[in-house]
Structure 1
Amino acid sequence: MLHSTFAALASESVNYIDEPSTSESPDALGLMQCVLEQMDYGLALVHMATRQIRFANRLAHDGLNGPGSLRSGLCVVAGRLSTLLPTDHAQLERALLRAHGGVRALISLGGEDCTTSVAVVPLNAPTPTPYALLVFAKQQLCDSSTMALFARERGLTSAESNVLASVCSGMRPTEIAQHHGVQISTVRSQLRSIRLKTRCDTIRQLVETVSILPPMARHMAAVQH
């Protein structure tokens, strides 16, 4: 039944939204910026020649400024993209040069105590201006709002939701019990209930299920230019 349904859908042509006319472009741009704000990934558009940031959603803006740069390894100096650590600057430059040639790159930034990754993706935009998309690594497996929606949809109790969040943060059952001040038997009972409600046979499968949830942003904020 499912196979025949998928086959029927695949046989249909995909209808794309028409490109906006000149009069509709500002509205289309604003709509696209709102879309990017809803993603739980830092996304920034950088001019590969000048290193200037053309656009950054809220998560990327936070990752390029102030305390957020400690987590991303990137910052903005005199209006140009740079690295927080001077030792990381060379690999950023190499990644941008490769992107200028149409090659994607993944760079690792930060010291031994705090290492993060940023993807540098060249854009084949309908313009001669060379831009690359910076995709920041997520700071956690799943954001709190997505986790809450998942827990509510699967009928988890408040206590089970807290246990699920602890498991996805890497805590072991004994650590969860100590953290919440309950017996280990209580945590194990809650984990069994969570697996039943989420239809997961193992904790690993549960974590994998959470890891591929849609990446929704934790908040909606003003667009940063």
Structure 2
Amino acid sequence: MLHTAFANTSSDAMNYVDEPETPDALSLMQCVLEQMDYGLALVHMPTRQIRFANRLAHDGLNGPGSLRSGLCVTEGRLNTLLNVDHAQLERALLRAQSGVRALISLGGEGCTTSVALVPLNAPGAAPFALLVFAKQQLCDSSTMALFARERGLTSAESNVLASVCSGMRPTEIAQHHGVQISTVRSQLRSIRLKTRCDTIRQLVETVSILPPMARHMASVQY
């Protein structure tokens, strides 16, 4: 099992002592990546081969989510769905090989998304980079449910909270749930009291910085 221990030093920095990597440690780290509500993939920059991807990244590269990510895998190599984005990806990969991070915008009008390319410059390591895909929604439903339960929200209030965080206005929420606008306003007051938020904006900000916990999904090994 992966173990870390604090080493006593004279500085404020914290040093970690790790046990040698084992198959159990590798599996544990893969499980860690699956818990994040971000698509994360490891790409070998010179060959553009994907070596690992969690489920969210896999869906962004191969599944229905590929229409939103703007990236795909063609003949085992990282590529772009649109030809116009290919040069941008190539430039980002070249910059990453020199240690420079990149944020690329992909897709056409009305369907633009971003992917970060972060070089991993471990000493003596192969030239890999981490692909970090943009989130598809403000907060995952499982995280929202945990937050609502922890703050004592009712089922109806939880639904209103999810609607607010998806960008719906009170009138739209009332129409969507088939209730009076006065009911929605009353629910919003109750939600603000239970979450200790003075305004809807503060409520959305509170939800936006919740820990990015993903739904339980199996990892995909390339």
TM-score, normalised relative to structure 2: 0.92
- Structure having the higher strand fraction is 2
Structure 1 alignment gaps of length 5 or more: 1-10
1:66 aligns with 2:59: no
Deviations 1:2-40 (A, max 9, x none): xxxxxxxxx99676552222xx42221111111001100
Q: 140, 147, 169: which is aligned to 1:143?
A: 140
Q: 161, 166, 170: which is aligned to 1:169?
A: 166
| TM-superposed deviation, 1:119 | 0.3
Q: 118, 121, 126: which is aligned to 1:124?
A: 121
- Structure having the higher helix fraction is 1
Indicate the residue corresponding to 1:18 in structure 2: 17
Tell me the distance in 2 between the aligned counterparts of 1:75 and 1:37.
Answer: 20
Indicate the residue corresponding to 2:184 in structure 1: 187
| TM-superposed deviation, 1:71 | 1.1
Kept after mapping to 2: 8 A contact 1:20/1:28: no
Kept after mapping to 2: 8 A contact 1:58/1:224: no
Give 3-state SS (helix, strand or coil) of 1:103's partner.
coil
**Cα-Cα RMSD:** 1.6
Structure 2 alignment gaps of length 5 or more: 1-9
Q: Could you tell me which amino acid in structure 2 is paired with residue 63 of structure 1?
A: G
Deviations 1:28-71 (A, max 9, x none): 11111110011000000001100000110010011000322101
Kept after mapping to 1: 8 A contact 2:58/2:220: no
Indicate the residue corresponding to 1:8 in structure 2: none
Tell me the distance in 1 between the aligned counterparts of 2:86 and 2:220.
Answer: 27
Paired positions, count = 213
| TM-superposed deviation, 1:128 | 3.6
Kept after mapping to 2: 8 A contact 1:44/1:60: yes
Q: 194, 198, 217: which is aligned to 1:197?
A: 194
